[in-house]
């Protein structure tokens, strides 16, 4: 027997964080009969008049400039927007009061009536999530592309009746808050749990774990904590579900024996690993190879991932802003066939840049470093390649253009987070694209 839907009627649901996901959650809560409340760390002035009109029109109570215990204590349920840490003080207040705390993914799952295909991993999530979505559409299914890819899960579940599958990119941040199977808020043996709150565990029909490497060590205390957050994608799966794992990743191979679900390995030896993962999912659903091969043949890539922008004065300009880890930049450089002028840097996630030394020595003519990681980049690479520190992205681009020669490639592949200078990697990539499009040709004598 399936678990009942979480009943929000007359319940006060407080959302921690008021950005795009917060607004999507508010709409879902309202639709389900709950009373929305928002607690936001930022000041009221950070939000535009349209947002405040929306609050007033929908009678949403909100606090700004930080969280207060009284506000949290008046909640029946606390929901965390993506990016909010599980160890923040408001979560401690809620737990002390016995108030359930759910992340956006698990909360939204309570109202999702269609199968979920969830994808995680240290690198390649967005590309594989997009490929799976396109394969499903090519096969005739109504697929919804959402999650960490930039479109909130809650926004899509509002019209779940129009979909056949939800294809969901999930990050370790979003899975930190997933409840354990023995949570007091679960439904046990058909009997009511604490305070009449019934919570289904996040349970994707197909869960994909692409790879595991250093990432987000600025957020997680060590690699083990990072891996434990990632592995939660399988937390509630059973023998009727499918786990798709990278057959060439030793960590995932060892871990596979602990899973109760049906394990399928994808092999990256003879195929692009992203295509291999997507084809494994397709085959588990009975989709023929002719369908997914058509998608692969026509796939032009995702925005901000080795995205060619233009050629100017014989120099190619490529946007790889989505490369927020050294491994992602390593992959981008491995694909390169031209001499590279590399723009990199941003907020360091406490990862090892050293894995790039060999490939940079082979392929990179010069590094233009930006952001908080400039000093670390200089220390890591200045003995093998010239490193020029640049205060801003536009300066780095101008310097790279000035020094580039016909046949070179100016590549933005930051290997760092964007939050020291930009709201997210999308903004960083879009600004880079705009700057490149506005570059002028050199004046030739």
26 and 111 housed in the same domain: no
Query: Are 133 and 166 part of one and the same domain?
Result: yes
CATH number at residue 428: 3.90.190.20
3-class DSSP state for residue 342? strand
Split into its structural domains, the chain has a count of 3
Please indicate, yes or no, whether residues 28 and 119 belong to a single structural domain of this protein: no
Together in a domain, 330 and 417: yes
Same domain, 52 and 112: no
Burial class of residue 160 (count of CB atoms within 10 Å of its CB; 0-12, 13-18, 19+): middle
Beta strands in 157-271, from DSSP E residues, in sequence order: 165-169, 206-209, 242-246, 262-266
Tell me, yes or no, whether 128 and 272 share the same domain.
Answer: yes
Is residue 172 domain-resident?
yes
Kindly state whether residues 162 and 243 are assigned to the same domain. Answer: yes
Assigned domain for 145 exists = yes
Q: Which of 74, 99, 124 is the last residue of a domain?
A: 99
pLDDT (tens digit, 0 to 9) for every residue of the chain, 445 residues total? 345 678 899 899 999 988 778 889 999 999 999 999 999 998 988 888 888 898 899 889 999 999 999 999 999 999 998 878 888 999 999 999 989 999 999 999 999 999 999 999 888 889 999 999 999 999 999 999 999 887 899 999 999 999 999 999 998 777 877 876 767 665 444 333 445 567 888 999 999 999 887 544 444 455 777 777 788 899 999 999 999 999 888 888 888 999 999 999 998 676 788 999 999 999 999 999 999 999 999 998 888 989 999 999 999 999 999 999 898 899 899 889 999 999 999 999 888 899 999 999 999 999 999 999 999 999 999 999 999 999 899 999 999 999 999 999 999 999 999 989 998 999 999 999 999 999 988 755 3
Question: Based on the domain organization, do 147 and 25 belong to the same domain?
Answer: no
Domain that holds residue 326: 307-437
- Beta strands 307-312 and 315-319: pairing type? antiparallel
Q: What are phi and psi of 213, to 5 degrees?
A: -155, 180
* 67 lies in some domain: yes
- Domain for residue 1, yes or no? no
Q: Give the residue from 249, 268, 302 where a domain finishes.
A: 302
For 209, list phi and psi in degrees, rounded to 5.
Answer: -115, 110
Residue at a domain's end among 302, 330, 356:
302
Rounded CA gap, 191 and 211, in Å? 39
Q: How far apart are the C-alpha atoms of 213 and 330, rounded to whole Å?
A: 12
Q: By three-state DSSP, how is residue 341 classified?
A: strand
Do 30 and 91 share a domain, yes or no?
yes
Whether residue 180 is contained in a domain is answered as yes
Q: Are residues 125 and 216 in the same domain?
A: yes
CA–CA separation, 135 vs 290, rounded Å? 10
């Amino acid at each position: 027997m399936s678990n009942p839907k979480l009943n929000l009627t007359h319940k006060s649901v407080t959302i921690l964080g008021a950005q795009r996901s917060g607004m999507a959650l508010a709409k879902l809560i309202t639709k389900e009969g709950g009373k929305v409340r928002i607690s936001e760390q930022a000041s009221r002035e950070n939000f535009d008049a349209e947002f405040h009109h929306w609050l007033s029109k929908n009678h949403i109570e909100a606090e700004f400039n930080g969280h207060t215990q009284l506000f949290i204590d008046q909640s029946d349920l606390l929901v965390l927007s993506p990016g909010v840490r599980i160890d923040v003080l408001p979560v401690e207040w809620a737990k002390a009061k016995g108030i359930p705390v759910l992340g956006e993914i698990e909360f939204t799952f309570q109202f999702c009536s269609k199968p979920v295909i969830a994808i995680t991993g240290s690198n390649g999530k967005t590309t594989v999530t997009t490929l799976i979505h396109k394969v499903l559409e090519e096969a005739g299914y109504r697929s919804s592309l959402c999650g960490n890819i930039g479109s909130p899960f809650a926004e899509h579940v509002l019209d779940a009746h129009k979909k056949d599958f939800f294809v969901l990119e999930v990050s370790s941040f979003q899975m930190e808050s997933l409840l354990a199977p023995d949570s007091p808020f679960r439904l046990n043996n058909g009997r009511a749990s604490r305070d009449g709150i019934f919570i289904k565990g996040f349970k994707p029909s197909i869960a994909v774990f692409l790879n595991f490497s250093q990432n987000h060590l600025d957020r997680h205390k060590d690699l083990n904590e990072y891996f434990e957050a990632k592995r939660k994608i399988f937390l509630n799966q059973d023998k009727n579900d499918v786990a798709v794992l990278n057959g060439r990743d030793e960590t995932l191979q060892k871990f596979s024996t602990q899973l109760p679900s049906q394990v399928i390995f994808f092999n990256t030896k003879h195929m692009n690993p992203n295509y291999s993962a997507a084809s494994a999912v397709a085959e588990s659903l009975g989709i023929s190879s002719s369908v997914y091969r058509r998608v692969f043949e026509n796939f032009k890539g995702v925005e901000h991932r080795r995205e060619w922008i233009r050629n100017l004065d014989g120099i190619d300009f490529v946007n790889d802003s989505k490369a927020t880890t050294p491994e992602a930049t390593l992959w981008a450089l491995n694909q390169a066939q031209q001499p590279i002028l590399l723009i990199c840097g941003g907020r360091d996630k406490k990862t090892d840049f050293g894995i790039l030394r060999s490939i940079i020595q082979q392929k990179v003519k010069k590094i233009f470093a930006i952001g908080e990681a400039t000093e670390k980049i200089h220390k890591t690479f200045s003995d093998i390649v010239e490193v020029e520190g640049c205060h801003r992205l536009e300066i780095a681009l101008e310097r790279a253009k000035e020094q580039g020669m016909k046949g070179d490639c100016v590549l933005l592949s930051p290997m760092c987070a964007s939050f020291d200078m930009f709201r997210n990697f999308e903004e960083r990539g879009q600004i880079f694209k705009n700057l490149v499009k506005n570059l002028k040709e050199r004046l030739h004598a």
